[in-house]
């Protein structure tokens, strides 16, 4: 399957019940106290709003950031990260040895930080297909109202003190597990009742939905009630296995999303799991809306865009591909799921995809290759580099879900 589960290891920790109970009033109070302790964002020219030229890569959002007026970096928006951070490699490249009492500079907004930790994510670049430079986490989201317009691919920031929503979208209560945002949503499988449960909202998850089977047992939601296929993904870790299937629908507020692809996670048997914490909603769902995170008023707002009715296309190759090498333009097969078109065509783990339909793979990006592999019925000629030799392979895409 396509490598869609960015930061899944951290998400599994949330699903397995690490950290405070999400329904706790004390957690909301703690989040509010943490927000109050942070210096407020400073908008340029005494204003209260700014539009940021963000980059949307797949379902992830990358924000241009200067650290103390340094050269720009691109930080990924991650609503599940407890703190913002910078890659140690990027800090070295920028010549930043002191990361205390600094300011993150955005177009039209400055945000003071007492410190910016260095945290490396070595697998991020190959899984996403672009260099990892840093993360914007809870200490960013809590100081501005963040509007992510996936349809127009724009990002806007507002001063919470002056912000008031007047649109027609659905306003949903936002609660916290520590600093991690949660909302109520309802999911349904064929032959099962609709169940309302807690979901983490994760802007750094490219996939649509992750469902933990352990809460599923409590709420009588089982992956066995839907057609599933085993995931083949380089990001799966922590002893979990994943099966992909389609929900009949997912209801968030007054909106119903039909047939989204869900990853069913089977946690370790000895894990301490919160039965109310059913899973994670990621970018594959969020991209259907303009999403507004308003931590100050403990609300998230969803306003559908032109992609709301899109039918989600799953990977149809059974091949998981990652990007490596200079410029992340070497596309290596990380795994091949048995019984899929990739396996039937003879693609092997470790193969390098050097070309697709006579076009050099180096002229593509990782997201483009994954998009090609989601096209139902398409047949591609792959040029494969294997053990120093070139191999031509023809692969016919077909639906797996």
CA distance 127 to 47: 38
pLDDT at 1: 44
What is the CA 232 to chain-centroid distance, rounded?
A: 17
* Residue of 124, 56, 57 lying closest to 90 (CA atoms): 124
Per-residue pLDDT, averaged over 145-158, amounts to: 96
The CATH class given to the 319-396 domain equals mainly beta
The CATH class given to the 167-284 domain equals mainly beta
Radius of gyration, CA atoms only, the chain: 21
Q: Tell me which residue has tokens 């009588």.
A: 220
pLDDT at 298: 96
pLDDT at 91: 96
Is residue 281 within 8 Å of 200, Cβ to Cβ?
yes
pLDDT at 243: 80
Question: Going along 253-347, which residue ranges are E strands?
Answer: 255-258, 261-266, 277-281, 289-294, 299-304, 319-324, 330-336
Label residue 58 by pLDDT band (50, 70, 90).
Answer: confident
CA distance 215 to 206: 22
Q: Which CATH superfamily is domain 19-158 in?
A: Acid Proteases (2.40.70.10)
Per-residue pLDDT, averaged over 33-61, amounts to: 85
Q: Tell me which residue has tokens 């005494």.
A: 46
Indicate the helix (H) or strand (E) that contains 157.
strand 154-158
Is residue 39 within 8 Å of 295, Cβ to Cβ?
no
Mean pLDDT of the chain: 84
**Helix, coil or strand: residue 40:** coil
Question: Going along 46-144, which residue ranges are E strands?
Answer: 49-52, 55-57, 60-67, 73-77, 85-86, 100-106, 109-115, 134-136
In the 8-state DSSP scheme, what is residue 45?
G
Question: In this structure, is the dihedral angle defined by the CA atoms of residues 166, 172, 176 and 179, taken in order, positive or negative?
Answer: negative
pLDDT at 231: 62
pLDDT at 81 over 80: yes
CA distance 387 to 284: 36
Label residue 17 by pLDDT band (50, 70, 90).
Answer: very low
Q: Which residues pair with 86 in a beta bridge?
A: 118, 134
Q: Which residues pair with 321 in a beta bridge?
A: 333
Neighbours of 370 (CB within 10 A): 22
Backbone angles phi, psi at 188, to 5 degrees: -140, 135
**Helix, coil or strand: residue 363:** helix
Overall residue count recorded for the chain in this entry: 401
Label residue 37 by pLDDT band (50, 70, 90).
Answer: low
CA distance 114 to 136: 15
Rounded percentage of the chain residues whose pLDDT exceeds 70:
81
pLDDT at 29: 43
Start-to-end CA distance of the chain, whole Å, equals: 11
98 CB burial (10 A radius; 0-12, 13-18, 19+): exposed
pTM of the predicted model as reported, rounded to 2 decimal places: 0.86
More confident site: 249 or 233: 249
Neighbours of 329 (CB within 10 A): 16
CA distance 182 to 205: 14
What is the CA 257 to chain-centroid distance, rounded?
A: 18
Indicate the helix (H) or strand (E) that contains 172.
strand 170-173
pLDDT at 372: 93
**Helix, coil or strand: residue 344:** helix
Using one digit for the tens of pLDDT, what is the confidence trace for 174-187? 999 899 999 999 98
Query: What residue spans define the domains of the chain?
Result: 19-158, 167-284, 319-396
CA distance 210 to 11: 9
pLDDT at 221: 54
Neighbours of 114 (CB within 10 A): 11
pLDDT at 358: 87
């Amino acid at each position: 399957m396509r490598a869609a589960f960015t930061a899944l290891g951290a998400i599994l920790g949330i699903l397995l019940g690490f950290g405070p109970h999400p329904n706790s009033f004390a957690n909301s109070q703690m989040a509010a106290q943490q927000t109050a302790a942070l210096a407020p964002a400073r908008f340029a020219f005494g204003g209260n709003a700014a539009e940021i030229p963000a980059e949307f890569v797949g379902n992830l959002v990358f924000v241009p950031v200067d650290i103390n007026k340094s050269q720009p970096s691109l930080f990924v928006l991650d609503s599940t990260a407890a703190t913002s951070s910078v890659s140690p490699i990027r800090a070295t490249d920028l010549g930043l040895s002191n990361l205390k009492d600094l300011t993150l500079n955005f177009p039209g907004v400055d945000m003071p930080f007492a410190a910016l930790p260095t945290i490396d994510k070595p697998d991020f670049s190959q899984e996403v297909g672009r260099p990892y430079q840093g993360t914007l986490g809870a200490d960013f989201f809590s100081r501005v109202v963040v509007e992510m317009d996936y349809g127009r691919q724009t990002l806007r920031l507002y001063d919470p003190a002056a912000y008031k929503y007047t649109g027609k979208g659905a306003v949903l209560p936002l609660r916290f597990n520590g600093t991690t945002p949660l909302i109520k949503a309802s999911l349904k499988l064929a032959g099962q009742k609709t169940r309302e449960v807690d979901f983490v909202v994760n802007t750094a998850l490219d996939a649509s939905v992750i469902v933990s089977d352990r809460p599923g047992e409590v709420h009588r939601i089982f992956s066995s009630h839907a057609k599933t296929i085993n995931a083949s993904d380089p990001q799966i870790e922590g002893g979990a296995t994943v099966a992909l299937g389609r929900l009949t629908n997912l209801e968030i507020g007054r909106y119903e999303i039909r047939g989204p692809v869900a990853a069913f996670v089977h946690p370790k048997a000895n894990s301490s799991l919160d039965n109310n914490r059913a899973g994670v909603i990621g970018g594959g769902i969020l991209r259907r809306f303009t999403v507004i995170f308003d931590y100050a008023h403990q609300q998230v707002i969803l306003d559908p865009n032109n992609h709301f009715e899109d039918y989600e296309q799953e990977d149809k190759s059974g091949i998981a591909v990652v990007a490596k090498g200079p410029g992340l333009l070497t596309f290596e097969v990380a795994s091949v799921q048995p019984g899929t078109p990739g396996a039937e065509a003879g693609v092997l783990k470790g193969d390098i995809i050097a070309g697709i339909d006579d076009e050099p793979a180096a002229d593509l990006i990782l997201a483009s290759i994954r998009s090609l592999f989601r096209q139902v019925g398409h047949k591609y000629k792959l040029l494969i580099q294997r053990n120093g030799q070139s191999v031509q392979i023809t692969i016919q895409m077909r639906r797996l879900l």
